[in-house]
Amino acid sequence: MLKSKTFVKKTRSGGVMKIVREHYLRDDIWCGSEACTECKQESTVLQKDACIESNLCSYPHYLIPDTNVVLHQIDVLEDPMIRNVIILQTVLQEVRHRSAPVYKRLKDIIHEKEKHFYTFTNEHRRETFIEREPGESANDRNDRAIRVAAKWYSQHLKMFESDTDGLKVVLLTNDQGNKQKAEESDLLVYADIIVHRLLAVAIGADSTYPDLMDKHKQSALCNNLNYRHKMAQYAQRASVAFHTQLFFKSRGILNEEGFVLFVRKNAIIVLIPKFGLEGTVFFDGKDKTAPNLVYDEEGPTLTIEQHTFHIFDKVKVTISLDDSNIQHQKIRMALIDPVISGVSVPAPDVGPQAKKPKLDQ
């Protein structure tokens, strides 16, 4: 079956080009497993008795690493102990784009017969090819393609269950979102740094305690790790916000040069290079009578009365700490330049209060 995709692309010279991509979907792409009696393959790569000499998994299994696991655990994958691994075409392509050295090492492993690494061209098999959905990023699409292919393998191998001691596939991922979505579709998944630990145990480079081999305890452990990681991030952000406020507290109202980073429907987001500070200048404040705002998504631009803001425009703003609500102190920015009547504020007097810290240094 031939699928073709047509889209238009803007060229550098400003013209428009029509691009047609052809993509062949086939039914004769085989699973590569010795255990399989369905696929019409002449030779196989993946062993029927795919047990590694460790207590990691009690049943025979094939590993399917996602792109990040390949990029970060290539040393482990190279270990002679790790065999019977399915490298999806999606993963191979992503690795090729992201790291030439890792790609080279992966290709070398695939060529080693005794490693039993099988490349599965999932992007061309009818059941495992997926189209990118509207609003889906290329990354998310690839993660989904990996899950779909892993799921296909899982179902495919189920047909030979009685003959193979329950041969399974195990998806290896560091990505929490990918893990969750894969679990929803009933795949066996290991997440986070646990992947590294388990791989290390598998090759005998590390030992571990029985609890880590328990699927439910492992899941609880992962949840706890992720929770603590999230809380640490919140604490980090709160700390940055707190110290920024502390810094501006003693400085009164400042008058600084900045650049427009983004334009929104009712505001511009300004970067002040001097402080590495980002802030928002709102144009529909409660106390002001709302000016005439026209937002153009295409630009994107925001026109306020007679003035149009573009990304990277140079502006001048005031920076001050609004401590009117002691519970929610905020850094406020207001526009000085360009001057828009009824919107911009006059430049503050740079009085002794603002200069003092400089003299102290």
Find all residues with CB under 8 Å of 182, minimum gap 6, and list them: 147, 150, 151, 171, 173, 189
Q: Which stretch binds Zn ion (CB under 5 A): 25-33, 101-109, 136-144, 293-301?
A: 25-33
Residue number with CB closer to Zn ion (159 or 345): 159
Residues that bind Zn ion (rule: CB under 5 A) add up to a total of 4
Examine residue 31 and tell whether it contacts Zn ion (CB under 5 A): yes
Q: Which stretch binds Zn ion (CB under 5 A): 31-39, 43-51, 52-60, 253-261?
A: 31-39
Examine residue 268 and tell whether it contacts Zn ion (CB under 5 A): no
d(CA 201, CA 198): 5
Cβ contact 191:173 at 8 Å? yes
The answer to whether the Cα torsion of 33, 35, 39, 42 is positive or negative is positive
Find all residues with CB under 8 Å of 151, minimum gap 6, and list them: 182, 185, 186, 187
Residue number with CB closer to Zn ion (61 or 179): 61
Q: Hey, what long-range contacts does 189-197 have (CB within 8 A, 24 or more apart)?
A: 190/218, 191/222, 192/222, 192/225, 192/226, 193/225, 194/218, 194/221, 194/222, 195/69, 195/73, 196/72, 196/73, 196/76
Residue number with CB closer to Zn ion (38 or 349): 38
d(CA 272, CA 282): 16
Examine residue 36 and tell whether it contacts Zn ion (CB under 5 A): yes
Cβ contact 267:281 at 8 Å? yes
Residue number with CB closer to Zn ion (11 or 43): 43
Least distance in angstroms from the C-beta of 33 to Zn ion = 6
Least distance in angstroms from the C-beta of 30 to Zn ion = 6
Find all residues with CB under 8 Å of 201, minimum gap 6, and list them: 54, 55, 56, 207, 208, 212
Least distance in angstroms from the C-beta of 36 to Zn ion = 3
Examine residue 39 and tell whether it contacts Zn ion (CB under 5 A): yes
d(CA 238, CA 326): 15
Longest Cα pair distance anywhere in the chain, in angstroms?
85
Examine residue 100 and tell whether it contacts Zn ion (CB under 5 A): no
Residue number with CB closer to Zn ion (123 or 192): 123
Beta bridge partners of 322: 330
Least distance in angstroms from the C-beta of 1 to Zn ion = 20
Residue number with CB closer to Zn ion (36 or 56): 36
Least distance in angstroms from the C-beta of 41 to Zn ion = 7
Q: Which stretch binds Zn ion (CB under 5 A): 4-12, 39-47, 102-110, 130-138?
A: 39-47
Least distance in angstroms from the C-beta of 83 to Zn ion = 18
The residue among 323, 316, 348 whose CA lies nearest residue 250 is 323
Residue number with CB closer to Zn ion (40 or 216): 40
Residue number with CB closer to Zn ion (31 or 260): 31
Examine residue 167 and tell whether it contacts Zn ion (CB under 5 A): no
Instruction: Give contact residues for Zn ion (rule: CB under 5 A).
Output: 31, 36, 38-39
